[in-house]
Amino acid sequence: MSYSNPIIPGFNPDPSIIRVGKDFFLVTSTFEYFPGVPIYHSQDLIQWKLIGHALTRPSQLQIHTPEPGGGVWATTIRHHAGVYYIMAASFQRYRPQQDDRVWPQGFYVRTTDIWNEKTWSDPIYFDQVGFDQDLFWDVDGTVYLSSTYRKTQPTIGANLKDFAIHVCTVDLATGHSTSAPKLIRESSSGVAEGSHIFKRGRYWYLFTAEGGTESGHSEWVNRSEVGPFGPWELGPNNPLWRNGVEDEVQNTGHADLVEDTKGQWWAVVLGVRPSRQGDMWQESVLGRETFLVPLEWKDDWPVINGGQKISLNSNGPGLYQFDIPVSWRDEFSEPQMQVGWYRKNTPFVNDYSLTERPNYLRLHGGPYNLSVPASPTMFLRKQTHHLCRWETKLSFEPTVDETEAGTVVWLNYFTYSSIGIRKDSKGRFIRFRPSEGDIVEHRLDTNTAVTLTVDCGTEYQFGYCEGTESEVHWIGSVSNSAATAAPPVGANFTGMMLGLYAFGERQRCLAPADFAYAEFR
């Protein structure tokens, strides 16, 4: 049966999946955003619902001023003896341009009630550094931790990252290693990461993402008849598939496996779907997304997607076509924020209210503007479709010149475009601040609420209308290439988000910014 990819669109990289009974649960990476680790649920692998996050408290996650691409990397979810585990690591310093990174200590959180995000434990930290942590419980009860970090002995005569897979045994109660780490997989590309260990029949299997998460990305497999320490036998058909730079889906890899209730195996992988502009591919604004492909076992080796390239239109037993809706709306009528809003970094203070003015999101802008690496007063949603319109209605009467509130197209604190309300001695005005190009300002004629609009497509167009006006005044645009420009430090591991903000320039914004709604359509 045919179905459409991606199954979870927008910024949702590094998928990891389990099945418990008839329920599938899937997690993805969040990097510098809070709350961390979204948890999706499905019963048919096609329709997924965000049910919560694993890292929702400052006691679980402290992210402050990391570079773009820092924060929580590649999470893994597992279920063992009635307990759900999520493993991760958080980079507080990530500067690959200077080969300057602090290898984080990974951690896990656990719960017996995955439906209630408040029940996830505080982290238990491993004393083994690395990223892309994976836990494997062997049949004798031994727990193995695999992770990626640089080899202690660099490859001689080669300029490689030397990122390799290491494994050790671990005491889950304390997080302490109980054996010395052993290097079990390295790649001629210089990058082997995203390890997952499975046991099937008489073999242990090691799946690894290799070549880096860009155009060289691929998935490899090894197996062992002895155990997680090896020795490992390289699979006969590596990489397991290969998408190239001219395909409609690119950069595919980082697989995790699940078996459904009927005995059919599946793999979830990350991929990007760039936009075609003439005879060129344009980098996807949506970032790395979650794709699903069937898996078969032949001669005790996995064959993913028949060894063929992953495409937007796929085939797999028992699945069906489903168009993920574009439309979404939040009227801020509940006492808590809808699930799916994100902050940049862990916020220091409570700077918003849903009750001070009922049916509005009220922001009390903090002292950081959007170009500061700290956590501004800003709430973000993931863009999940190339073609859509983002809209919000804002009531804001600034009392000093150095304050602003509005809406933003956000990639990181180096690359964003905003349209907001400010004031000067002559009154209120709209300021459009593009990620590339000159600032544009338009005087407002009234003191009414202002509707702010962003059209997303081959470019981002920004506009506004006052009061009851129905016609949008378009003030400027930003190309998709400018909106996805690489930062001077860090990396673009995320995808586009749109959101609401308020700030003062090194001061609190004393005038509240009230948002009546936010919507995609």
Active-site annotation, residues: 14, 193
259, 265, 270, 274: CA torsion to nearest 10: -140
Total Cβ atoms within 10 A of residue 182: 14
Residue environment code for 2-33, b if the CB has 16+ CB neighbours within 10 A, otherwise e: ebbbbbbbbbbbbbbbbbeeeebbbbbbbbbb
Tokens, residue 36: 């961390």
Alpha-carbon distance of 275 to 492, in angstroms, equals 17
Whose structure tokens read 């999940």? 384
Alpha-carbon distance of 41 to 109, in angstroms, equals 18
Alpha-carbon distance of 194 to 207, in angstroms, equals 8
- The one-character DSSP state at 483 is H
Residues with Cβ < 8 Å from 128, sequence gap 6 or more? 105, 106, 145, 147, 166, 168, 170, 177, 181
Whose structure tokens read 């239109």? 313
In order of 82, 129, 146, the CA distances from 410 in angstroms are 39, 31, 34
CA atoms within 13 A on the CB side of 52: 13
For residues 446 and 466, the answer to whether their CB atoms sit within 8 Å is yes
Which residue, among 145, 69, 146, has the nearest Cα to 100 in the 3D structure?
69
Alpha-carbon distance of 460 to 442, in angstroms, equals 18
Which residues pair with residue 447 across a beta bridge?
A: none
Alpha-carbon distance of 169 to 351, in angstroms, equals 43
DSSP result, 342-386: BEES--SS--EESTTTTTSEEE--BS--TTSSS--EEEEEE---S
Alpha-carbon distance of 111 to 32, in angstroms, equals 23
DSSP result, 69-116: T-EEEEEEEEEETTEEEEEEEEES-EEGGGTEEPPPEEEEEEES-TT-
Q: Is 63 helix (H, G, I), strand (E, B) or coil?
A: coil
Q: How far apart are the first and last CA of the chain?
A: 29
Which residue, among 130, 39, 52, has the nearest Cα to 79 in the 3D structure?
39
Whose structure tokens read 């999470």? 75
Alpha-carbon distance of 391 to 414, in angstroms, equals 23
